[in-house]
Amino acid sequence: MKVALLREGGLALEELPRPTAGPGEIVVRLAACGVCGTDLEKLRGNYRTAGRLGHEPVGVVDEVGEGVRSPKVGERVFVHHHVPCYTCAVCRRGDHTFCASYARTNLDPGGFSEYFRVPEENVRKGAVLPIPPTISWAEGALLEPAACALTALRRVGFTAGDTVFVLGLGPVGLLYARLARALGAGWVGGADLSRARRTAAERGGVETAVDARDAEGVVGAVTGATGGDGVDLAVVATGAPAAVTLGARLPRRGGTLNLFGLPEPGSRLDVDLQQLYLRGLRVIPTYATTEPDVADVRALVTSGRLRLEDLVTHREPLERVAEAFRIASRPEEALKVVVTGPAFDDGA
């Protein structure tokens, strides 16, 4: 079978034996897997937890191991690559994505593979979710990044009516803004360097999308929309340190700054700490998601409250995975890029 792997020289498309399902495990035939910004950072060597590529896969169950009662062969499924232990002190506090064993669980050999094995622990803990026929493969491949945004919104204490500004309107930033709107945000603004992404944001319900190079324009947009108070929630959906510096100027007194994008290793925070203190800002990093939030996003998509598929601008077969990564790295050329596998034709 074909599989895209991270090698010392970069991205490699190789032939490996098809995995088989052991007790409690399943094997999934790939339909689609989104190219995430963290996949791009792994390729660039900027992600300390770098390892396997592809963590937004959907497909069809091809084989089930001994003892697996659900799912069944032939079912359309989303598969979450990580699961927390749910028993440690971190999990008991509800901080599941920061569980020390969370990243230990993963797909074999990864989401950019014609077939991949799902470990027994993932299957047992509910990380394999059925996808109804009303959700296309392209939408299914966006469930995980949309759920990351939902996990963030819940962690920071978002409530309907809150004002939100998103710095960084890449695929996950666009999903964050769109999800905040679907959950009842009072006003949503955003900023990005890319004109194409700003246009996509406004098409998806963002009231004001500003060129991120114009810092005073960003502050002015927030000031005008909130009567000078600042937003309830400022989201930094990019790893650029300058965006954090700008983002800290946007929340109201007592508001929240959500660090949502992945910074490069060694990045430093350049913020007036006295202003954070005097304004009472909460600075909350959020990371990844869990299967309950994926299930809730699935329900939002099924009900029509959250639209995803129009964010997918490119679909490339696994044989052209290198081209998919090239396109995904060009913000003026693409929004979300999805790599398709052998099960893609089983359902649009």
CA–CA gap between residue 221 and residue 230 (Å, rounded): 10
**CB under 8 A, 24+ apart: contacts of 237-240:** 237/166, 237/167, 237/168, 237/169, 237/170, 237/172, 237/173, 237/176, 237/261, 238/167, 238/168, 238/170, 238/173, 239/41, 239/263, 239/264, 239/267, 240/168
* pLDDT given at position 260: 98
* Coil, strand or helix at 257: strand
* pLDDT given at position 49: 55
**DSSP assignment of 271-299:** --HHHHHHHT-EEEE-----HHHHHHHHH
- Identify the residue whose tokens are 């649009």: 348
Contact 118, 27 (CB under 8 A): yes
- Identify the residue whose tokens are 């999903």: 175
The answer regarding whether domain 2-142+308-346 maps to CATH 3.90.180.10 reads: yes
* pLDDT given at position 10: 84
At 240-288, the pLDDT tens digits run 999 999 999 999 999 999 999 989 889 998 999 999 999 999 999 999 9
| Alpha helices for 159-290 (secondary structure H) | 171-182, 195-203, 215-226, 241-247, 273-279
In this predicted structure, the answer to whether residue 127 has a pLDDT above a threshold of 80 is: yes
Q: 151 versus 49: which is more confidently predicted? A: 151
Return left, alpha or beta for 10; rule: phi > 0 is left, psi -120 to 50 is alpha, else beta.
Answer: left
* pLDDT given at position 310: 94
In this predicted structure, the answer to whether residue 55 has a pLDDT above a threshold of 90 is: yes
CA–CA gap between residue 183 and residue 132 (Å, rounded): 22
* pLDDT given at position 264: 85
| Rounded alpha-carbon distances, angstroms, from residue 289 to 84, 127, 279 | 10, 11, 29
CA–CA gap between residue 126 and residue 223 (Å, rounded): 44
For residue 216 the two structure tokens come to 């005073």
In this predicted structure, the answer to whether residue 222 has a pLDDT above a threshold of 90 is: yes
Q: Tell me the CATH class for 155-285.
A: alpha beta
Break the chain into its structural domains and give their ranges.
2-142+308-346, 155-285
User: What are the residues facing 166 on neighbouring strands?
Assistant: 190, 235
* pLDDT given at position 8: 83
Would you place residue 347 in the very low, low, confident or very high pLDDT band (cuts 50, 70, 90)?
A: low
Q: What is the CA radius of gyration of the chain?
A: 20
Would you place residue 214 in the very low, low, confident or very high pLDDT band (cuts 50, 70, 90)?
A: very high
Would you place residue 227 in the very low, low, confident or very high pLDDT band (cuts 50, 70, 90)?
A: very high
Amino acid type, 104:
R
Would you place residue 182 in the very low, low, confident or very high pLDDT band (cuts 50, 70, 90)?
A: very high
* pLDDT given at position 135: 97
In this predicted structure, the answer to whether residue 44 has a pLDDT above a threshold of 90 is: no
CA–CA gap between residue 59 and residue 57 (Å, rounded): 7
* Coil, strand or helix at 37: helix
- Identify the residue whose tokens are 């004001």: 208
Would you place residue 172 in the very low, low, confident or very high pLDDT band (cuts 50, 70, 90)?
A: very high
* pLDDT given at position 265: 86
In this predicted structure, the answer to whether residue 86 has a pLDDT above a threshold of 60 is: yes
Contacts of 86 (CB under 8 A, 6+ apart): 96, 99, 125
Mean pLDDT, the chain, as a whole number? 95
* pLDDT given at position 48: 54
Give the predicted TM-score (pTM) of the model: 0.96
* pLDDT given at position 329: 94
Would you place residue 346 in the very low, low, confident or very high pLDDT band (cuts 50, 70, 90)?
A: low
In this predicted structure, the answer to whether residue 87 has a pLDDT above a threshold of 90 is: yes
